[in-house]
Homo-oligomer: A and B are copies of this chain.
Amino acid sequence: MTTACETLRWDAVRLSAWSEPLLARVESALSEWVGVDAPVLLGDAMRYAVLDGGKRLRPLLVLAASEAVGGHAEAALRAACAVELIHAYSLVHDDLPCMDNDVLRRGKPTVHVKFGEADALLAGDALQALAFELLTPDGTSISPAVQAMLCRLLARAAGSQGMAGGQAIDLASVGVALTEAELRNMHRLKTGALLQGSVEMGAACGNALSPQTLVALRDYGAAIGLAFQVVDDILDVIADSETLGKTAGKDAASDKPTYVSLLGLDGARAEARQLLAQALEALDRSALADTGALRALAHMVVDRDR
């Protein structure tokens, strides 16, 4: 079990040292796998949507979870990339005029601004398919059971009872007064499902985990999934567009319910600390020897607003 002391040793420097080589591997794999043999414009749009951008939080969660359970390295790398492709496709579609109509993402023109709406739509569709293709390679030492499990977890996290479902609830909630439970349910699906899925996919790269460990990792994923959105809502209020890399203050402007509008800024911050505590407590009961990276990532998620 990781102690409080050990957590302290995972400061920002150590997290960087741990994550840098992993991020380099993810970037290199994405660059090798995304849009390479696709028809020209489509391939360009897919690569533009995926490469050179984002903090890669989801891939890091996959890799940290896999590392904690001694998972299969190639399976974890593929799962890390697959999750990132689902995240990237959701951003491309979310930015379209019929959704959020955003023109700026990570400080660059959004995919449809650069490539047109039709190619942006298709690039998103193709990225989703590619995610499942990456999880099911031919001629590999990744067992079919792990491949099938990774597809199952990703499909559930991305679909109508996961991310897409949460986006649909979000759409229907503009201008609607949500209770805290309804807001939490929306975000549990919209943002939380894929973050939790990342942790579960990392765990699925390991072998014969105890139910206790699986449940603990799932709970960890659920807590940081929700914490991520709470912090996002806080950032939307306090950060300017430059820091955020996207248009700030959009949620309030579009009359969307947020944790800040519901709980106030201090209440939202308290909620984020509470979720962080839940995540760390889940790791305590995971019975895993080394959860340092997972702990550090949980802190990173919550401390983004500093």
Interface residues of chain A, those whose CB is within 8 Å of chain B, are 35, 37-43, 46, 89-90, 93, 96-99, 116-119, 121-122, 124-126, 128-133, 135-138, 143-145, 147-149, 151-152, 154-156, 158-162, 164-165, 167-169, 171-172
Q: Which chain B positions have C-beta within 8 A of A156?
A: 129, 133
The residue from B89, B126, B133, B161 contacting A37, defined by CB atoms under 8 A apart: B161
CB closest residue in chain B, given A42: B168
Main secondary structure of the interface of A (DSSP, over half): helix
Known: A39-B160, A122-B164. A129 touches B148 (CB 8 A): no
Query: Which residues from B are CB-within-8-Å of A35?
Result: 160
- Complex alpha-carbon distance, A240 and B130, angstroms: 37
Cβ-neighbour of A126 out of B99, B124, B149, B160 (below 8 A): B160
Q: Which of A122, A128, A156 has the most CB of B within 10 A?
A: A122
Distance A53 CA – B86 CA, assembled complex (angstroms): 29
CB distance from A42 to the nearest CB of B (A): 4
Q: Which of A124, A160, A172 has the most chain B CB within a 10 Å cutoff?
A: A160
Say yes or no: B132 contacts A172, CB within 8 Å: no
Contact of A135 among B96, B137, B151 (CB under 8 A): B151
Inter-chain contacts of A143 with B (CB < 8 A): 144
